[in-house]
A and B are shown apart, each in its own frame.
Chain A
Amino acid sequence: MTESDNIRVPVSQQPHSVIKSKKENGIGGLVSIQINEKAVMVPLGTTILEACRKNQIHIPTLCHHEDLCLAGLCRICVVDVEGMKTLQAACSFPITSPLKIHTSTPMVRKARRHIIDLILSEHCGECYSCIRNGNCELQALAKEYGVDGYRFGHVEQPRYSVDRSSVSVIRDLNKCILCRRCIRTCIDLQEVGVLEAIDRGDKTHIGTFLDKPLADVICINCGQCTNRCPTAALSTNDPSDEIWEAIDNPNKHVVIQTAPSPRAAIGEEFGVAPGKSFTGELNSALKRIGFDKVFDTNFTADLTIIEEGTELLNRLKKVLVNCDTSVKLPQFTSCSPGWIKFIEHFYPEYLDYLSTAKSPQQMFGAVIKTFYAKETGINPDDIVTVALMPCSAKKFECNRPEMNSSGYKDVDFGLTTREMATMIKEAGIYLPEMPKTGFDDPFGEASGAGLIFGATGGVMEAALRTVYELVTGREVPFKNLNIEPCRGFDGIKQASVKLENCVNEYSFLEGIDLKFLVAHGTANAKKVMQMLKRGELNDVHFVEIMACPGGCLGGGGQPIPTSAEIRRKRAQAIYEEEASLPIRKSHENPYVKYIYQKFLTEGPCGKLSHKLLHTHYTKRGRFIS
């Protein structure tokens, strides 16, 4: 199944779209139509937009997004269908009978131009002071249709105050064009449902429950809406000014950790086609910008695997040997902060199922301000830690009040891929041309297991490589260590691996089928939680959940645009880079071994680990007062 097949058809449009024929060549499977006098055959149920794109005819769109359900409301994609009194929205018109379609009649062109003019009349803001300048769909359309003035006037004064309450996502309704992609992203793609259209007529606006600030509602900060907003109505909360300030301050030691997904996508911000990693180039660029040290988040991803894997084995032992009914299985991963906030809001009674291990980002922050500070003799107070992440929820995560186990704010700033790209450009650097350099010591190069954290199923694959080997003393029985059942974009993947000939310490696991499940996107997470509630996960041991579709590589802070195809290419880049790495198992990372020898001397899940590398969660609930 491909990802798009698997994306849940949304509530709002589910019964209102025509189901495509499964057998294209069967009777009635194909419909012959004419587009601009050219005869073509298309599968029954194809939309006019799809038919045109397949035939190299460009139709402008705004409310349409291929990840989302049909909307048909901006009307920019209207075309003329012979025999119909009115123009039809190409994005949402399913072809079920022979049609004659015209995509560029005078009426069509005039209507499109009117629609752009109308949107511009209510779109408050100047392009040159906008973060989406150069990557704005409205701006592109205005150019495409030769807009040279505001035919229907232009709103000069902002009508709404900008909502900066959330540390992750900023909402500026003055720039909102009411395409409602954010609503569909939130309700249909992610099944969170924070946003909805409020009021009607000219008072219509996108709002939250009772129009509360975003920080006060059940937003999980996944930022998927910021990825799909065609303008800058939704954006991430950018800390780069503070980071520049820290870099420019000679008394501050500024370190940055970079996650795997930004490296696989940041090239897109520089015009490179998706699917190429820029790890080495990024390291050089960051050094040139002025970061004192550039570390690899994968180091703490490896650390996470050790801690989380050990926690899993401890849980299994407590359940199987000690028959402790208070211990919950399956264990759920905890490295996606969007997923954490999702479960805290929607399933607060299930928090005990979460691994207590912190995410790699937070582990790194704690390690830097303790172990690294000690090793280098730098006062932790003078260290500023920045995390380059594909994620807007990481901003919220590093600002959680409990994330100060080092005695300081463990991670000072979460920076997204998009924000990083702007900093790099501001520093006058063209990333693709940078020389390749490695990561800084003392954390050095990490294992490939940490790298694949970026793709859905990656954490599971990395964990299995380590857990299986710990338990049996042998490598996982998959070719080239590639645990294929963990890979790919199916919404929910389930598989198992049999534990045989276990080492003495783990003899209680002898013969057990270690069952695991992987899900991505909170819509799928919801399904998994419903399965858990129904008791269908009683025999499952470990569940990986990532809040974003595709995992971190599809994160809310990643380059715009996003699509199933783009996410597939980013995954490919990650897996290719991984295959070439010398170390591909977390427990073989020499720096991980070193930190357990030197610092976390009680071993994984020991006392100091618990203090620095583990955390607890908050029962938030769905109802916010």
Chain B
Amino acid sequence: MSTSAVNPKKRTGPVIFSEYNSGDGIKKAFSLKREDILFELKESKLKGRGGAGFPTSSKWMLTAAASSDKKFLICNADEGEPGTFKDRVLLQEYPELVFDGMVIGGYTIGAKYGIVYLRGEYEYIYESLQFYLQSMRKRNFLGNNILGSNFSFDIKIHLGAGAYVCGEETALIESLEGERGEPRNRPPYPVNTGYMGYPTVVNNVETLAAVPHIVCKSGKWFKKFGTDKSTGSKLFSVSGDCNKPGVYELPWGITIRELLNIVEAENTKAVQVGGASGICIPKSGFDRKLGYEDAATGGSVIVFNEKRNMLQVLKNFMEFFVEESCGQCTPCRIGNVKLLEGVEKIEKGNYTFSYINTLKELGNTMKVASKCGLGQSSPNSFISILENFKDEIFKSNGANNDRVG
């Protein structure tokens, strides 16, 4: 499998997996003014790789502009979206990209402390990351007066405890502070009031890994790849019914069909783009482009072939959300339970179309009324799977039921 860390040199890609020597980005950054780095970043149009797609340069600028004696840069390595595993590959095989990106980020926004919030299940790579940080300290890429400059920066690693919601940046911060991992009210946003109340940037692992490349090779170079609205490349974690699952670096804008060809998927019925919180695309949508403007994803691509029962696929996702909702806000806590109950009703054939439509409306409410991204995106699969596979689902389930509506 291409995901294993047997030989990192084997990986190739236009941006992230292009050539890079540890420390080059830091050295280059130190030769630049902070504004120049922000300019390159803005020029690159890099957007957050976690899935939400917020412009990275804006986050950095807001934090850089905030006046505070302390600032923090957090690397969100709580990779919990079902079907994503590209951050693990980056951390295991390309730690220099992530950590160099953090040092550059700290330098640019004026933070002295970086924190990696590492997914609890990735505990087994904790030691190797610590080892790598230690080697960076030895080479003076971390610590006091990095490379003889007056900039000091260090990174610590904090292990999560297994909650999906802690990938949401404010819940992540709560968890870091030792509180129950639950999202905060926004505004105020972390760029003003983040970790311990200080201005904080929270970036995805892959976002940070792109930074050294942009600093070394310019924003202009970066945006040569991808589309106008989705610049650069993306690491896709492809899993499911295909012959070559794994992590692929491909330019944004590639169509689903092209991706399916690359991973050698056959008889594909559906592709779940964006993990459990993403949307399920049927055959008719395989010419859609992967990108923020069309089929957005934080990297997860799950392939389903003709043999898969889409209702069971949906049930699995809904069970996930019922369990992983933090339980704070009403729409998400109870709404997901109701959606799952709806799936179970369909399964038993004990439903009416009018109730299913009510649940779809509820899903739309959840999208707009939930407190954080979890509840705002959990109805996506419910709505898209029931819509795109209604023939399959409603013909094979409860065909004898006396339906209304």
Q: Which residues on A are within 8 Å of B, measured CB to CB?
A: 12-18, 70, 72-76, 78, 85-87, 89, 92-94, 96, 107, 110-111, 114-115, 118-119, 121-122, 151-153, 177-178, 196-197, 199-204
A158 to chain B, nearest CB (A): 17
B185 and A74 form a contact (CB under 8 A) = no
Are B185 and A201 in contact, with the CB atoms below 8 A?
Answer: no
A-B contact pairs, 30 of them (CB 8 A): A16-B193, A16-B197, A18-B188, A72-B185, A72-B329, A72-B371, A74-B330, A78-B368, A78-B369, A86-B367, A86-B370, A86-B376, A94-B188, A121-B338, A122-B334, A151-B358, A153-B338, A177-B330, A199-B327, A200-B324, A200-B325, A200-B326, A201-B324, A201-B325, A201-B327, A202-B323, A202-B325, A202-B327, A202-B334, A204-B333
Known contacts A73-B329, A107-B368; is-contact A15 B338 (Cβ 8 Å): no
A196 touches B180 (CB 8 A): yes
- Indicate which residue in A18, A76, A204 contacts B187 across the interface (CB closer than 8 Å): A18
B335 touches A118 (CB 8 A): yes
Partner of A114, one of B324, B325, B326, B362: B362
Tell me the smallest distance from the CB of A119 to a CB of chain B, in Å.
Answer: 6
Given the interface pairs A107-B368, A114-B361, A121-B338, the reply to whether A16 lies near B184 with Cβ below 8 Å is yes
Chain A residues near B65: list those with CB within 8 A: none
Known contacts A114-B365, A115-B369, A122-B334; A75 and B329 CB within 8 A of each other: yes
User: How many A-B contacts at CB < 8 Å in the complex?
Assistant: 122
User: Are B324 and A118 neighbours in the complex by a CB distance under 8 Å?
Assistant: no
Report the minimal beta-carbon distance from B375 to chain A, rounded to whole angstroms.
9
Contact, CB under 8 Å: A200 / B163: yes
Q: Is B303 an interface residue (CB 8 A)?
A: no
Q: Does A15 contact B365, Cβ atoms closer than 8 Å? A: no
Residues of A within 8 A of B197 (CB): 14-16
Binary contact track B213-246/A, C-beta < 8 Å → 1, others 0: 0000000000000000000000000000000000
Q: Which residues of chain A are within 8 angstroms of B371 by Cβ–Cβ distance?
A: 72-73, 75, 89
- The 10 A-B residue pairs with the shortest CB-CB distance, nearest first, are A204-B327, A15-B197, A118-B334, A92-B185, A114-B365, A111-B369, A72-B185, A201-B325, A200-B327, A111-B365
A118 touches B187 (CB 8 A): no
Say yes or no for B337: interface residue by CB 8 A criterion. yes
* Shortest Cβ gap from B5 to chain A (Å): 32
CA distance A197 to B329 in the complex (A): 12
Given contacts A87-B369, A115-B369, A200-B324, is CB(A16)–CB(B188) below 8 Å?
yes
Contact (Cβ within 8 A) A74 B329: yes
Q: B residues touching A (Cβ–Cβ < 8 Å)?
A: 163, 165, 179-180, 184-185, 187-188, 193, 196-197, 321-331, 333-338, 341, 358, 361-362, 365, 367-371, 376
Besides A74-B329, A118-B330, A202-B323, 19 other CB < 8 A contacts? Answer: A15-B196, A15-B197, A16-B193, A70-B185, A73-B328, A89-B371, A96-B187, A107-B368, A111-B331, A114-B362, A151-B358, A153-B338, A178-B330, A178-B333, A200-B163, A200-B326, A201-B323, A201-B325, A202-B327
Give B358's nearest chain A residue, CB to CB.
A151
A residues less than 8 Å from B368 (CB atoms): 78, 85-87, 107, 111
Once bound together, how far apart are the Cα atoms of A14 and B336, in whole Å?
A: 30
User: Which of B163, B333, B361 counts the most A-chain CB atoms under 10 A from its CB?
Assistant: B333
Q: Is the interface of B mostly helix, strand, loop or mixed?
A: helix
What chain B residues lie within 8 Å of A204 (beta carbons)? 326-328, 333
Least CB distance from B23 to A in Å reads 35
Of B184, B193, B196, B370, the contact of A75 (CB 8 Å cutoff): B370
Taking CB atoms, residues of chain B closer than 8 Å to A87 are 368-369
A206 to B336, CA, bound (A): 20
Contacts of B324 in A (CB 8 A): 200-201
Most B-side CB within 10 Å, residue of A121, A122, A201, A204: A201
* With contact pairs A75-B331, A118-B330, A119-B330 given, residues A201 and B187 touching in the complex (Cβ less than 8 Å): no
Contacts of A119 in B (CB 8 A): 330, 334
| A75-B371, A151-B358 as given contacts; A197 in contact with B330, CB under 8 Å | no
**CA–CA, A303 to B85, complex, Å?**
73
Shortest distance from the beta carbon of B191 to any chain A beta carbon, whole Å: 13
Is the pair A17, B326 in contact by a Cβ cutoff of 8 Å?
no
Closest CB-CB distance, A622 to chain B, in whole Å?
Answer: 19
- Chain B residues with CB under 8 Å of A94's CB are 187-188
Q: What is the bound-complex CA distance between A96 and B192, given in angstroms?
A: 13
Contact call B331/A118, Cβ cutoff below 8 A: yes
CB-CB nearest in chain B for A180: B328
Check if B188 sits within 8 Å of A17, measured CB to CB. Answer: yes
Residue among A17, A93, A110, A152 with most chain B CB within 10 A: A152
Which residue of chain A is the closest to B195 with respect to CB atoms? A15
Q: How far is the CB of B343 from chain A (nearest CB, A)?
A: 14
Smallest CB gap from A14: residue in B = B197
From the candidates A16, A18, A92, A115, name the one contacting B331 in the complex (CB within 8 A): A115
User: How far does the Cβ of B16 sit from chain A's closest Cβ, in whole Å?
Assistant: 29
Bound-state CA distance A119–B329 (Å) is 11
| Residues of A with C-beta under 8 A to B336 | 201-202
Query: Nearest chain-A residue to B363 (Cβ)?
Result: A114
In the complex, A388→B336 CA distance in Å?
A: 46
Task: Decide: A197 and B327 in contact? CB cutoff 8 A.
Answer: yes
Most buried by B among A93, A94, A199, A202: A202
Residues of B within 8 A of A78 (CB): 368-369
- Residues of B with C-beta under 8 A to A201: 321-327, 333, 336
Taking the closest CB of chain A, its distance from the CB of B394, in whole angstroms, is 21
Question: Which residues does chain B contribute within 8 Å of A14, judged by CB atoms?
Answer: 197
| Complex contacts, A13 vs chain B, CB 8 Å | 184-185
Closest to A62 in B: B330
Residue of B187, B188, B323 with most partner-chain A CB within 10 A: B187
- A115 — which chain B residues lie within 8 A by C-beta? 330-331, 365, 369
CB neighbours of B367 from chain A (8 A): 86
In the complex, A591 Cα to B362 Cα: how many Å?
A: 67
Q: Which of B197, B341, B369 has the most CB of A within 10 A?
A: B369
Rounded to whole angstroms, the CA-CA distance of A196 and B182 in the bound complex is 13
Assembled-state Cα–Cα distance A152/B333 (Å): 14
CB distance from B293 to the nearest CB of A (A): 15
Judge whether B335 and A93 touch: CB under 8 Å.
no
Q: Chain A's nearest CB lies how many Å from the CB of B113?
A: 16
**CA of A279 to CA of B360 in the docked complex: distance in angstroms?**
57
B329 to chain A, nearest CB (A): 5
In the complex, the chain B residue whose C-beta lies closest to that of A116 is B330
Chain A residue numbers with a CB within 8 Å of B325 are 200-202
Q: Nearest Cβ in chain A — how far from B179, in angstroms?
A: 7
Complex-state Cα separation, A119 to B179, whole angstroms: 26
- The CA of A94 and the CA of B329, in the complex, are separated in Å by 19
A75 lies within 8 A of B187 (CB) = no
Q: Determine the chain A residues whose CB is within 8 A of the CB of B365 once the complex forms.
A: 110-111, 114-115
Q: Output the least CB separation between B162 and chain A (Å).
A: 10
Residues of the B chain whose Cβ atoms lie less than 8 Å from the Cβ of A86:
367-370, 376
Chain B residues with Cβ below 8 Å from A203 are 327
Contact indicator A202/B185 (Cβ below 8 Å) = no
Whether A89 lies near B185 (C-beta < 8 A) is yes
CA distance A474 to B151 in the complex (A): 70
A15 to B335 CA separation, bound complex (whole angstroms): 30
Considering only CB atoms, which chain A residue lies closest to B323 in the complex?
A: A201
- Which A residues lie within 8 Å of B334 (CB)? 118-119, 121-122, 152, 202
Contacts of A70 in B (CB 8 A): 185
Q: A86-B369, A200-B324 are in contact. Are A118 and B188 (CB under 8 A)?
A: no
Point out the residues of chain A lying under 8 angstroms from B193, CB to CB: 15-16
Which residue on A lies nearest to B321, using beta carbons? A201
B residues less than 8 Å from A110 (CB atoms): 361, 365
Write out the residue numbers on chain A whose beta carbons fall within 8 Å of the beta carbon of B333: 178, 201-202, 204
Name the CB-closest residue of B to A97.
Answer: B187
Minimum CB–CB distance from B73 to chain A (whole Å) comes to 18
Provide the residues of chain B in CB contact with A76, threshold 8 Å. 330
Q: State in angstroms the CA–CA spacing of A76 and B338 once bound together.
A: 18
| Residues of B close to A16: CB separation below 8 A | 184-185, 188, 193, 197
A124–B362 CA distance with the chains assembled, in angstroms: 21
